[in-house]
Amino acid sequence: MTEHTPIHVIGGGLAGSEAAWQIASHGVPAVLHEMRPERMTDAHKTEGLAELVCSNSFRSDDWENNAVGLLHEEMRRAGSLILAAGDRHKLPAGGALAVDRDGFSAEVTARLSQHPLVTIERGEVAGLPPADWDSVIVATGPLTSPALSEAVKTLTGETELAFFDAIAPVVHLESIDQTIAWKQSRYDKAGPAGTGADYLNCPMSKDEYEAFIDALLAGEKTTFKDWEASTPYFDGCLPVEVMAERGRETLRFGPMKPVGLSDPRTGRRPYAVVQLRQDNALGTLWNMVGFQTKLKHAEQVRVFRMIPGLGDAEFARLGGLHRNTFLNSPKLLDSSLRLKAEPRLRFAGQITGVEGYVESAAIGLLAGRFAAWERKGEPLSPPPPTTALGALIAHITGGHLLDAGASAPSFQPMNINYGLLPPLDDAPTSGADGRRLKGKERGAEKKRIMSRRALRELEGWLAERARVDA
Ligand SMILES: Cc1cc2nc3c(=O)[nH]c(=O)nc-3n(C[C@H](O)[C@H](O)[C@H](O)COP(=O)(O)OP(=O)(O)OC[C@H]3O[C@@H](n4cnc5c(N)ncnc54)[C@H](O)[C@@H]3O)c2cc1C
């Protein structure tokens, strides 16, 4: 194979379009396969590449104070097509980057169609790619066509490709009140990788439990779309409020059972307990065990802050339940997004377990670069983990803690957030003006320092890559 042998990209969504652009920008031909309009998904309405299926927002564009804004800026600096088209078609939206969806999609389609190294082929790839496609990026998204997802399932195994994300909220550790929540595993069991004190436990009295159940039952919920409700993978991940509807005691015998736990403040077993389990290798994020939910986001914040110890909780991710298709990436993919079981296949976009338009495009950007570098015989160096791009890929390829011994993978899709970046060695105590910082101010200053560190280190990586590519 030579540099002139094309790399095939399956799926012309956010990730696939970005991947094809990056490949071509590195001087390697790309063939982009998109099944629309021949075959549509339940959510897409047009034949345009990079169609935004719902909101037209790429969220905050503030690189200094917001992790997704930082990701925007890093992608701009790395020559992203999706960000360039987004900037060109932006609409007034305060601090957010919102785009005219038709103009945006038309621009991505036109730039790819006009690129001499990109060929766009319309039609479904309805199974494993032909054997003579030696380098393939699968970027078919949350609504991957059934024929292809079945084929992927044969490679990965039945349980490693999920068709629903049942997301429990994830909380920043530093916002949990550990004068109330204490560390203990049920019956102090250490398990295969634990210490016997692996969970954070939030205790509830009877009155607190009753009030919490009332709030869960009364909380405003989102509804399933028809095609989501008919997806036959929903059993086994019941939302917490549905469990509460089945009986006021159901949760106390389910995810909120207090057995084997003793509150050090009272020396007694509480009436009920909410447990949080470490979610990332850095130990900065903790997920609420068994708390997948269809409560609306604002309701989740209100209701879950009723839990003792979570009164000031800051959520890195709120809960949800959606139709989705994604791999157990930390187990299946290597650090350059290749399927370990079949390395000619790389994955990109939401199917790798990132969440959102921007994150999907970001993983497309990296997959495209890796594939092009591999074709040219160059080293596949990922961005530093202190950058938003690096943190995102580190999370999906190894940052998430695999839950050894669990019946189903615990990996669930995630947006970019500061909890995925390595913490600072020294947290700031005073601001640029020398004034002593308190509480929230200190958190905000930390984000700014992490953002500046990220862009500095990204520049170093880009410069090094430019030297290798030259
Ligand atoms: C209903 C819904 C609403 C959403 N709302 C939002 C939102 O508001 N904001 C947000 O940030 N994210 C939202 N998301 C998530 C969003 O889909 C992703 O963030 C993003 O589109 C994923 O990018 P992707 O490139 O991985 O997949 P997509 O953008 O979906 O692209 C995948 C492409 O692959 C094509 N394809 C699938 N199978 C095949 C095949 N076998 N052969 C050839 N082509 C194929 C599809 O037609 C599609 O064009 C939503 C998702 C859904 C399902």
Q: Please, which pLDDT band fits residue 401 given cuts at 50, 70 and 90?
A: low
Whole-angstrom distance, CA of residue 415 vs CA of residue 287: 14
Q: In what order do the strands lie in the sheet with 342-347?
A: 118-122, 30-34, 7-10, 136-138, 342-347, 338-339
Mean pLDDT (the chain, rounded): 92
Q: Which of 455, 462, 305, 284 is nearest to 369 (CA)?
A: 462
Whole-number Å distance, alpha carbon 349 to ligand 1 midpoint, is: 8
Regarding the beta carbon of 57 and ligand 1, being less than 6 Å apart is answered no
Q: In testing the pocket of ligand 1, which one of 350, 355, 359 has its CB within 8 Å of the most ligand atoms?
A: 350
pLDDT at residue 438 in the model: 83
Q: Residue 297 CB: number of other CB atoms within 10 A?
A: 14
Question: What average pLDDT does the segment 261-286 reach?
Answer: 94
pLDDT at residue number 149: 94
Q: How far away, in angstroms, is 281 Cα from ligand 1 center?
A: 28
CA angle 174, 58, 62 (to 5 degrees): 55
CA distances from 106 to 56, 102, 109 (A): 14, 6, 5
- pTM of this structure: 0.88
Q: Is 148 in the pocket of ligand 1 (CB under 6 A)?
A: yes
324 lines ligand 1 (CB under 6 A): no
Ligand 1 neighbour 55 (Cβ under 6 A): yes
Confidence of residue 92 (pLDDT cuts 50, 70, 90): confident
Q: Give the Å distance between the CA of 29 and the centre of ligand 1.
A: 24
Q: Rounded to 5 degrees, what angle do the CA atoms 449, 454, 459 make?
A: 130
pLDDT single digits (tens) 30-84? 999 999 999 999 899 999 999 999 889 999 999 999 999 999 999 999 999 999 9
CB 386 within 8 A of CB 461: no
Q: What is the dihedral of CA 352, 358, 364, 367, to 10 degrees?
A: -70
36 lines ligand 1 (CB under 6 A): yes
Task: Please tell me whether residue 187 adopts helix, strand or coil conformation.
Answer: helix
pLDDT band at 4 (very low <50, low <70, confident <90, very high): confident
Of the pLDDT bands very low, low, confident and very high (cuts 50, 70, 90), residue 165 is: confident
Q: Which residue has the higher pLDDT, 294 or 94?
A: 294
Give the model's pLDDT for residue 213.
Answer: 98
User: What does the block give as tokens for 328?
Assistant: 């157990």
DSSP letter assigned to residue 191: T
Alpha-carbon dihedral sign for residues 210, 213, 215, 217? negative
Q: What is the reported pLDDT for 406?
A: 59
Structure tokens, 97: 């980057």
Beta bridge partners of 96: 60
- CA 227–ligand 1 middle distance (angstroms): 15
Please give the structure tokens belonging to residue 208.
């607190």
238 CA to middle of ligand 1, Å? 24
The amino acid sitting at 202 is C
> What are the backbone dihedrals phi and psi of residue 449, each rounded to the nearest 5 degrees, phi first?
-65, -40
Sign of CA pseudo-dihedral 48, 5, 21, 153: positive
On the question of a cis peptide bond just before residue 192, with omega within 30 degrees of 0, the verdict is no
Task: Compute the half-sphere exposure of residue 374: CA atoms within 13 Å on the CB side of its CA.
Answer: 21
Mean pLDDT lowest among 156-160, 385-389, 391-395? 156-160
pLDDT at residue 109 in the model:
98
